């Protein structure tokens, strides 16, 4: 110890006085002192020599003075101070060190007026806070978590406020000084950082005891003053704004009543406004300021906001409006300059989010108070996204346009997803100010569509007169495309929402807007504009008396029409696939909400909207026909654009997935043409990518369940599904099929059929499963034959398995017993053939491993899908198959799910390796599967062949101990049924019995000794209980050996009591649900009571 | 059962005929094995599809639009038949047209090739065949292989790889094995072996 203490000054001395070696030596001593497992003993020793606290703290002051030389390496100093913090923490264990002494010391250092010493004081406080704060920052000193926890609590109660007061003193002092030199500002920075830490919760919710310290208006004023002083230093500015943001998030019991909260908020808003108005915001301040506003808006209740003096509230909203517009413009500039750090974009996002929260609670605020701000924010957004002269897109500060074409890969999200939050806010603001925004969007879009049309015509002329197609200047076109892109995105977000799953409603604001203007609207003209997308809207007489909501849709339809006509004029090369995507995306979103609008869902309905798009209207029929034509046109000209083709086919699915829409669709001749064309598998539809073909098949099948008379229906299936079957049978029944099966044309035909089967399976719904299942079953049997023929062709084998996976995935939950049986049988045959063909096969080609991985993943998916029947079952004893079932029932039962799955597991387990488990998807799928098996067929586990059994148990152990917590939870869930199985058979010394004994120890250690995720406590508890029931003696041994290691009598007693209490409610333990629940309850207490005692950090 | 003459792209017919004569008895035994294909129900004779052309006159590749290619499929890159192991699209500028980027692995040499082309363009897709043969003999580094139809060929070398060594070992140990032969664009190579199971 002496050596340590002597070493200290040496280490801390200026570099000139000691050589490197000495310094390293000293450092070494000191660090080993810190690392030693018993610094407590050392500490005690020091304290032993100094019996009174005062002397102890004198020791500290000696140390502190040693630490004061400014030349001391920062890192060394911080390390030493951390050590001091640890000593203090240890000392607090037996109250041998009183923090008061230290604070006294520190406050003296602060009042010394010497910046260096003040820096030191600050470092001490920082070290203390971080040591006492969260467990992740805590040093690893070999004490149990309970100790760490109680230290933190005491520290928060007693000392934190004192540190805060000290910090405020320093800040006060600094804020009074005029000039801050560099060193002082660094001191300052540390204090700010400290103020930050002392209030470390993101949302500040202090207790009542802080009332005096925090509600003092001088505190807030001080932070504003401080910020103004230091705002030029970007690092410090961020800290001080963070402090203000925390003050803006203040809530909870600290406020005695509402009026205190109102006056606090008023003071905050006043301070904020005068700060913002008094400065020109720096880049580094944008995010901080937006955080203050966003915290304020999300924390303070609406009643408090509205209780502000109305003038102040108005100024606040105005300020917010200006700020939002200005950040939006700066964000656009950042994009042009392609900056890495998009601070304004982040700030803009925050503010737009705040607007969304505000306007969603519209009804609490004075009516219409957000309309003008909404207009301004909306206008500025549009302006930033349009090209000059209307907008400022791609303009740098000095008005220079930049136009670069980056390489964009498919991983980059589309703007509609990338900016979905921004667009949702802007859309919402657009609804608030619908009067202004909807007509604005319409006129901007119409004007651009006219220009686009003209530009395309001019380009066509140019191309006809020029031999060089490369001479086309795309700049003008690209600018128009980009304008249209943003206008359509904003229109889409304004007019409709995209709720997942539920039926989207027309937004109330839009409905209200349409209703309010319906008296001025001429419906016939509106319909005329809607129905003539090929004509210029402004050329139609009376065009200013149209419904604006419909007019906006018409504008998008005009864009769509210009695009379609250009493709017919062979100008596809000149078009933008992005714009094509935008159009079909918009139409899908629109159709989901507006097409066949259901009047029952609305209190009041707009006449123009219901006349144009209601059920049984000509308008609805016309538009369905138009959309269908669009889809067909897109699929034939855009097969080379996978994303556009995908969005297009999604629009088609949207049209047929709802019965009402599908009923209209199937009346269109085009629909039948599409079906025939696809069935003939000829260009251009066969050029589509496989996923698009699948979805197209799905749509065609869904359409087949629309309302048609029985002849028509018969006819439809003859056109759609029959050819598929016919072609397939013709092919595989050819005598020489085995010889020609390797030919490219044959392989393509087979692949196309398999893809179509997947698409058909995807179209499964409860009301069509009966017919689809029968249809697919015929194919599945043939597919087994294909497995033989293509046993050498891995990519085909893979696709065949995928068909089975899809069918099982989509249909098993609807199948009754006998149908499920059929599916089990055919799946079992599939696996048998697969296994036979792969047994003893060795492949040397490069793709062998990848192919095998994919096969395994699919087989596991198949097995899991089959098992999922046990959890999700919608079948009602073949209710959906009524009339088809010939009462065979379960009599002819031949195969059970267990047979298939265990056979599958037999294939999979030998092929699984730890390397393969490194693929996360494979790993999760694998553990999901084995947990299912243990839960559903525990009785089958002991019957497994020895090797298989062993590897299963090993997998469980591995999953429990060294995989993700999700996997670990799955494995724990698998244990209870296994233990119950053992208890049932009452056989001892079976391999399963021995294995469960091993698991008992594992789970016991996991729960009691290791720091575990609380999420898995329940799963682990259930497993532990059943294991304890099975192995009571072993459990007692575990408890006793654990107790035996405890030397501390108090802890021993606490632990012993806790263990007694744990099992008290369930003695003797039995596999009884009630007892199990009681055990889980006491386990919860056990963990919170002594869990921290045994877990050491 | 009809017996067609196996017609590999580069095999000499003289040796085949000779071998067939020599191994006539095996041929007969194999004859019944070929009946295992379960899919043959001769029903629809009036098919509008004609797949009976065999392979004479078939070219080694067929063109296909880039966008219709798929991962795990095949394509000709730099003149070599490749399996597509990675496929992605990209575009130049937000309003540009899609281009397809492909990474392929030469199915014979395992060399990696990359290519990019506009997705409207056509690429060549090689005809890939995989056939299984029973290994009858090895002489001077050449395998005697018998196909499903009983024809025997002796023009394929034992590959110079670990698989080749294994083929030789199994042959030396008198194990019955099937050899998978991959052929594309006039090239052929043994790529896999499988233990023959008695029941087949």
What is the C-alpha separation between A262 and A267, in angstroms, rounded? 9
The ipTM estimated for the assembled molecules is 0.78
Burial, A499: exposed, middle or buried (Cβ in 10 Å; 0-12, 13-18, 19+)?
Answer: exposed
Report whether pLDDT(A122) > 80.
no
Q: Which residues of A touch B58 (CB under 8 A)?
A: 743-744
A&B contacts, CB < 8 Å: 191
Q: What is the pLDDT of residues A146-172, one digit of tens each?
A: 666 677 666 666 666 777 777 777 777
Q: A408 vs B94: CB contact, 8 Å cut-off?
A: yes
Establish if A478 touches chain B: CB-CB under 8 angstroms.
yes
**C-alpha to C-alpha distances, A521 to A433, A518, A549, A607, nearest whole angstrom:** 19, 5, 11, 10
Average pLDDT score over residue span A412-430: 94
**Which pLDDT belongs to residue A93?**
61
**Which pLDDT belongs to residue B136?**
93
Closest C-alpha among A1085, A1042, A1095 to residue A1063: A1085
> Tokens in use for A129?
């806070």
Mean pLDDT of chain B: 75
Report whether pLDDT(A897) > 80.
no
Report whether pLDDT(A657) > 60.
yes
Q: Which of A109-123, A556-570, A658-672, A762-776 shows the lowest mean pLDDT across its residues?
A: A109-123
Report whether pLDDT(B117) > 70.
yes
Confidence class of residue A951 from pLDDT cuts 50, 70 and 90?
confident
Report whether pLDDT(A907) > 90.
no
What is the C-alpha separation between A564 and A386, in angstroms, rounded? 24
Distance from CA of A531 to the nearest CA of B (A): 29
Closest residue, chain A, to B96 (C-alpha): A576
Q: Which residues of B touch A406 (CB under 8 A)?
A: 92-93
Closest residue, chain A, to B129 (C-alpha): A742
Give, as one character, the DSSP assignment of residue A1034: H
Report whether pLDDT(A482) > 50.
yes
**Which pLDDT belongs to residue A340?**
80
Report whether pLDDT(A435) > 80.
yes
Q: How many CB atoms lie within 10 A of CB A765?
A: 14
**Which pLDDT belongs to residue B52?**
40
**Which pLDDT belongs to residue B25?**
38
**Which pLDDT belongs to residue B84?**
93
Closest C-alpha among A1011, A1015, A1010 to residue A969: A1015
Report whether pLDDT(A201) > 80.
no
Confidence class of residue A128 from pLDDT cuts 50, 70 and 90?
confident
Q: B62 vs A485: CB contact, 8 Å cut-off?
A: no
Q: Which residues of B touch A734 (CB under 8 A)?
A: 47, 51-52
Residues 724-753 of A with CB under 8 A from B: 726-727, 729-740, 742-746, 749
Which one is predicted more confidently, A223 or A294? A294
Q: Which of A261-270, A883-892, A1006-1015, B47-56 shows the lowest mean pLDDT across its residues?
A: B47-56
Confidence class of residue A436 from pLDDT cuts 50, 70 and 90?
very high
What is the C-alpha separation between A509 and A518, in angstroms, rounded? 14
**Which pLDDT belongs to residue A42?**
47
**Which pLDDT belongs to residue A96?**
57
Paired with B138 in beta bridges are B143
Mean pLDDT of chain A: 82
Average pLDDT score over residue span A557-579: 95
Length of chain A: 1097
Closest residue, chain A, to B72 (C-alpha): A795
Q: What is the pLDDT of residues A1029-1048, one digit of tens each?
A: 888 888 888 888 888 887 77
**Which pLDDT belongs to residue A43?**
43
Closest partner residue to A740 (CB to CB) among B42, B51, B180 is B51
Confidence class of residue A249 from pLDDT cuts 50, 70 and 90?
confident
**Which pLDDT belongs to residue A1082?**
83
Place of tokens 């039995």: A1070
Report whether pLDDT(A954) > 50.
yes
Closest residue, chain B, to A841 (C-alpha): B194
**Which pLDDT belongs to residue A450?**
96
Which one is predicted more confidently, A602 or A138? A602
**Which pLDDT belongs to residue A94?**
59
Q: Which of A201-215, A438-452, A480-494, A830-844 shows the lowest mean pLDDT across its residues?
A: A201-215
**Which pLDDT belongs to residue A87?**
66
Q: B38 vs A733: CB contact, 8 Å cut-off?
A: no
Establish if A686 touches chain B: CB-CB under 8 angstroms.
yes
Q: How many CB atoms lie within 10 A of CB A15?
A: 11
Identify whether the C-beta of residue B141 lies closer than 8 Å to the C-beta of residue B157. yes
Identify whether the C-beta of residue A645 lies closer than 8 Å to the C-beta of residue A670. no
Q: B52 vs A736: CB contact, 8 Å cut-off?
A: yes
What is the C-alpha separation between A1023 and A1032, in angstroms, rounded? 14
Q: Which of A97-101, B21-25, B145-149, B151-155 shows the lowest mean pLDDT across its residues?
A: B21-25
Maximum distance among all alpha carbons in chain B?
Answer: 68
Residues 6-35 of B with CB under 8 A from A: none
Report whether pLDDT(A313) > 60.
yes
Q: What is the pLDDT of residues A505-536, one digit of tens each?
A: 999 999 999 999 999 999 999 999 999 999 99
**Which pLDDT belongs to residue A886?**
44
DSSP labels, B171-185: HHTT--EEEEEEEET
Average pLDDT score over residue span A689-700: 94
Q: What percent of chain A has pLDDT over 70?
A: 79
Establish if B39 touches chain A: CB-CB under 8 angstroms.
yes
Confidence class of residue B7 from pLDDT cuts 50, 70 and 90?
very low
Q: Which residues of A touch B93 (CB under 8 A)?
A: 405-406, 408, 478
Average pLDDT score over residue span A366-379: 94
Confidence class of residue A235 from pLDDT cuts 50, 70 and 90?
confident
Q: B49 vs A408: CB contact, 8 Å cut-off?
A: no
Which one is predicted more confidently, A40 or A74? A74
Highest mean pLDDT among A546-555, A909-918, A964-973, A1047-1056: A546-555
> Tokens in use for B115?
């290519």
Report whether pLDDT(A61) > 60.
no
Q: Which residues of A touch B90 (CB under 8 A)?
A: 407-410
**Which pLDDT belongs to residue A1052?**
83
**Which pLDDT belongs to residue A743?**
84
What is the C-alpha separation between A394 and A465, in angstroms, rounded? 32
Place of tokens 């390496």: A73
**Which pLDDT belongs to residue B29?**
33
A386 Cβ contact partners less than 8 Å away, ≥ 6 residues apart: A392, A393, A444, A483, A486, A487
Average pLDDT score over residue span A929-949: 86
Burial, A658: exposed, middle or buried (Cβ in 10 Å; 0-12, 13-18, 19+)?
Answer: middle
Establish if B120 touches chain A: CB-CB under 8 angstroms.
yes
**Which pLDDT belongs to residue B197?**
67
Length of chain B: 200
Q: What is the pLDDT of residues B66-103, one digit of tens each?
A: 888 888 889 999 999 999 999 999 998 899 999 999 99
């Amino acid at each position: 110890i002496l050596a340590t203490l002597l070493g200290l000054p040496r280490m801390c001395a200026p570099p000139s006085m000691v050589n490197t070696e000495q310094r390293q030596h000293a450092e070494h001593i000191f660090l080993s002192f810190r690392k030693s497992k018993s610094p407590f003993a050392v500490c005690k020793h020091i304290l032993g020599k100094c019996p009174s606290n005062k002397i102890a703290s004198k020791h500290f002051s000696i140390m502190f003075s040693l630490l004061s030389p400014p030349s001391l390496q920062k890192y060394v100093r911080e390390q030493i101070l951390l050590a001091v913090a640890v000593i203090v923490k240890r000392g607090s264990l037996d109250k041998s060190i009183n923090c008061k002494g230290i604070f006294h010391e520190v406050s003296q250092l602060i009042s010394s007026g010497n910046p260096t010493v003040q820096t030191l004081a600050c470092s001490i406080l920082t070290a203390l806070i971080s040591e006492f704060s969260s467990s992740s920052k805590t040093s690893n000193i070999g004490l149990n978590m309970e100790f760490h926890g109680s230290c933190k609590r005491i520290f928060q109660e007693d000392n934190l406020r004192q540190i805060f007061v000290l910090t405020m003193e320093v800040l006060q002092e600094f804020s009074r000084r005029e000039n801050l030199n560099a060193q002082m500002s660094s001191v300052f920075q540390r204090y700010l950082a400290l103020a930050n830490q002392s209030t470390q919760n993101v949302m500040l919710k202090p207790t009542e005891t802080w009332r005096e310290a925090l509600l003092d208006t001088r505190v807030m004023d001080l932070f504003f003053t401080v910020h103004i002083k230091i705002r030029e230093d970007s690092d410090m500015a961020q800290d001080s704004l963070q402090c203000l943001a925390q003050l803006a998030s203040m809530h909870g019991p600290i406020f005695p009543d509402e009026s205190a909260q109102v006056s606090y908020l008023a003071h905050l808003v006043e301070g904020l406004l005068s700060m913002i108005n008094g400065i020109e915001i720096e880049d580094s301040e944008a995010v901080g300021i937006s955080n203050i506003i966003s915290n304020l808006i999300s924390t303070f209740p609406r009643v408090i906001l509205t209780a502000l003096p109305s003038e102040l509230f108005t100024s606040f909203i105005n300020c917010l409006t200006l700020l939002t517009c200005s950040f939006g413009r700066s964000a656009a500039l950042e994009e042009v300059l392609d900056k890495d750090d998009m601070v304004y974009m982040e700030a803009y996002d925050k503010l737009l989010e705040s607007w969304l929260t505000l306007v969603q609670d519209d009804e609490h605020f004075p009516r219409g108070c957000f309309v003008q701000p909404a207009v301004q924010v909306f206008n500025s957004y549009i302006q930033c996204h349009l090209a000059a002269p209307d907008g400022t897109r791609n303009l740098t500060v000095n008005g220079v346009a930049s136009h670069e074409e980056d390489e964009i890969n498919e991983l980059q999200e589309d703007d509609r997803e990338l900016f979905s939050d921004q667009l949702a806010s802007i859309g919402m603001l657009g609804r608030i100010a619908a009067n202004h925004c909807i007509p604005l969007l319409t006129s901007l879009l119409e004007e651009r569509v006219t220009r686009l049309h003209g530009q395309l015509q001019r380009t066509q002329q140019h191309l006809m007169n020029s031999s060089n197609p490369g001479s086309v200047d795309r700049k003008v076109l690209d600018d128009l495309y980009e304008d249209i892109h943003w206008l359509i995105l904003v229109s889409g977000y304004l007019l409709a929402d995209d709720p997942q799953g539920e039926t989207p409603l027309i937004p109330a604001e839009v409905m209200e807007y349409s209703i309010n203007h319906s008296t001025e609207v001429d419906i016939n003209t509106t319909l005329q504009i809607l129905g003539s997308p090929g004509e210029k809207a402004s050329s139609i007489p009376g065009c200013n008396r149209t419904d604006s909501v419909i007019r906006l849709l018409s504008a998008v339809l005009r864009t769509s029409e210009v695009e379609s006509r250009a493709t017919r004029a062979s100008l596809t090369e000149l078009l933008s696939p992005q714009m094509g995507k935008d159009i079909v995306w918009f139409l899908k979103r629109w159709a989901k909400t507006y097409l066949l609008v259901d009047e029952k869902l609305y209190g009041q309905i707009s006449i123009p909207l219901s006349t144009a798009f209601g059920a049984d209207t000509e308008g609805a029929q016309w538009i369905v026909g138009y959309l269908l034509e669009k889809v067909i046109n897109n699929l034939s000209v855009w097969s080379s654009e996978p994303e556009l083709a995908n969005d297009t086919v999604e629009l088609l699915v949207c049209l047929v997935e709802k019965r009402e829409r599908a009923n209209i669709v199937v009346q269109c001749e085009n629909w039948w043409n599409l079906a025939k064309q696809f069935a003939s598998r000829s260009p251009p539809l066969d050029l589509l990518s496989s996923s698009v073909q699948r979805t197209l098949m799905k749509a065609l099948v869904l359409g087949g369940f629309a309302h048609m008379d029985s002849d028509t229906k018969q006819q439809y299936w003859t056109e759609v599904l029959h050819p598929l079957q016919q072609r397939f049978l013709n092919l595989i029944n050819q005598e020489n099929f085995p010889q020609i099966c390797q030919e490219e044309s044959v392989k393509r035909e087979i692949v196309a059929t398999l893809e179509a089967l997947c698409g058909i399976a995807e179209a499964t719904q409860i009301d069509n499963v009966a017919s689809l299942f029968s249809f697919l079953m015929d194919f599945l049997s043939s597919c087994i034959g294909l497995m033989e023929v293509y046993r050498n062709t891995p990519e085909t084998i893979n696709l065949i398995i995928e068909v089975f996976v899809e069918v099982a995935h989509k249909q098993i939950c609807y199948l009754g017993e006998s149908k499920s049986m059929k599916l089990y049988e055919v799946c079992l045959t599939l696996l048998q053939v697969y296994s036979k063909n792969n047994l003893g096969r060795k492949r040397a080609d490069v793709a062998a491993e990848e192919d095998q991985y994919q096969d395994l993943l699919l087989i596991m998916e198949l097995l899991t899908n089959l098992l999922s029947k046990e959890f999700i079952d919608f079948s009602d004893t073949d209710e959906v198959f009524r009339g088809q079932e010939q009462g065979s029932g379960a009599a002819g039962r031949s195969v059970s799910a267990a047979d298939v799955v265990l056979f599958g597991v037999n294939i999979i387990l030998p092929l699984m390796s730890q390397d393969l488990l490194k693929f996360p998807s494979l790993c999760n799928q694998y553990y999901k599967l084995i947990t299912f098996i243990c839960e559903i067929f525990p009785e089958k586990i002991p019957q497994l062949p020895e090797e298989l059994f062993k590897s299963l148990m090993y997998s469980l152990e591995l999953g429990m101990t060294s995989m993700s917590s999700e996997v670990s939870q799955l494995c724990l869930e698998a244990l209870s049924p296994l233990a119950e199985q053992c208890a049932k058979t009452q056989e001892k010394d079976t391999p399963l019995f021995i294995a469960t004994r091993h698991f008992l120890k594992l789970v016991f250690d996991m729960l009691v000794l290791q720091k575990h995720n609380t999420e898995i406590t329940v799963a682990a508890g259930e497993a532990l209980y059943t294991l304890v029931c099975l192995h009571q003696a072993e459990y007692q041994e575990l408890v006793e050996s654990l107790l035996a290691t405890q030397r501390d009598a108090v802890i021993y007693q606490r632990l012993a009591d806790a263990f007694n209490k744990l099992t008290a409610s369930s003695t003797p333990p039995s596999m009884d649900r009630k007892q199990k629940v009681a055990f889980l309850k006491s386990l919860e207490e056990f963990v919170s009571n002594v869990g921290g005692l045994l877990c050491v950090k | 059962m009809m017996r067609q003459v196996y017609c590999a792209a580069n095999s000499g017919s003289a040796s085949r005929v000779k071998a067939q004569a020599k191994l006539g008895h095996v041929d007969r035994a194999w004859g019944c094995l070929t009946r295992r294909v379960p899919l043959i129900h001769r029903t629809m004779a009036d098919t509008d599809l004609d797949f009976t052309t065999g392979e004479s006159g078939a070219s080694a590749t067929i063109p296909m639009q880039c966008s219709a290619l798929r991962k795990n499929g095949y394509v000709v890159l730099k003149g070599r038949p490749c399996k597509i192991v990675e496929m992605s699209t990209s575009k130049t500028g937000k309003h540009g047209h899609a281009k397809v980027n492909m990474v392929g692995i030469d199915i014979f040499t395992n060399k990696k090739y990359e290519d990019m082309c506009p997705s409207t363009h056509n690429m060549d897709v090689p005809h890939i065949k995989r056939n299984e043969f029973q290994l009858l003999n090895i002489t001077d580094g050449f395998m005697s292989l018998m196909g499903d139809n009983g024809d025997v060929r002796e023009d394929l070398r034992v590959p110079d790889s670990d698989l080749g060594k294994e083929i030789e070992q199994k042959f030396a140990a008198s194990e019955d094995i099937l050899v998978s032969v991959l052929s594309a664009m006039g090239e052929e190579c043994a790529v896999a072996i499988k233990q023959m199971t008695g029941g087949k």
